[in-house]
Amino acid sequence: MKLFSRLHERCFCAFCKTPRRMYAKKHVDLTNVVATSFLATAVTYAYFGQPDPRGLVLFCLFIIASEIFVYSRWRNSTVCKLCGFDPLIYKRSPAAAAAKVREFFVKNSSDPRFHLTRSPLNEIQRLKRKGERKQADLKFMQAKMVAARTSSLTPTKSP
C-alpha cells in the first residue's frame, strides 16, 4: 500500500483517440487509512465519550465506504465521456463494448447539447446526415426526371 498515490493521469481514449484525464487512484492509500482512523476515533469520542471497541467497527465501515467511493470513482472515469467506450468491457468482450458505443451514439445523437461537445461521434453524425441529404436530393431529382419524361411522352391535346 502506497503512502500517496497519484489522483489523475492523462491518457487517450482507445476508441476515439481523444486526450482526456481519468482517475488513476484505484484503491485507498495509506493516507486515507490514517485519515479514516482519525475520523473513526473522533466519532467514537464524540459519541461514546471514551475509547470504545465499537470504534473499530466504525473504522471498518468508514474504510469500506471510502474504498467503495474511490473504486467507483475510478471505474466511472474509465468510460470515455465523448464516445462511451469502456476499455474494461472491451477486455472482456469487444462486441459488448461496440454495443455500448452504439447505444451511446443512438442515445446522444438526438441531444442538441451533445452536438456542442468535441466528440468525434459528431463528425460521424454529420457525415451520416450529409449522406441522408444526398440520398434525398438524388431521389427528388430522379422523381423530377421521371415526371419530366412522362410529361414529354404523353401527347398533349392541341386545341
13 belongs to the binding site for Zn ion (CB under 5 A): yes
59 belongs to the binding site for Zn ion (CB under 5 A): no
83 belongs to the binding site for Zn ion (CB under 5 A): yes
Q: Which residues pair with 11 in a beta bridge?
A: 20
22, containing H or E segment? strand 19-23
Nearer to Zn ion by C-beta: 93 or 142? 93
104 belongs to the binding site for Zn ion (CB under 5 A): no
Can you tell me which of 22, 32, 62, 85 binds Zn ion, judged by CB under 5 A? 85
Q: Which residues pair with 23 in a beta bridge?
A: 8
Nearest to 128 by CA among 154, 90, 94, 102: 102
Residue 64, all three cell numbers? 469500506
101 belongs to the binding site for Zn ion (CB under 5 A): no
- List contacts with Zn ion (CB under 5 A): 13, 15-16, 80, 82-83, 85
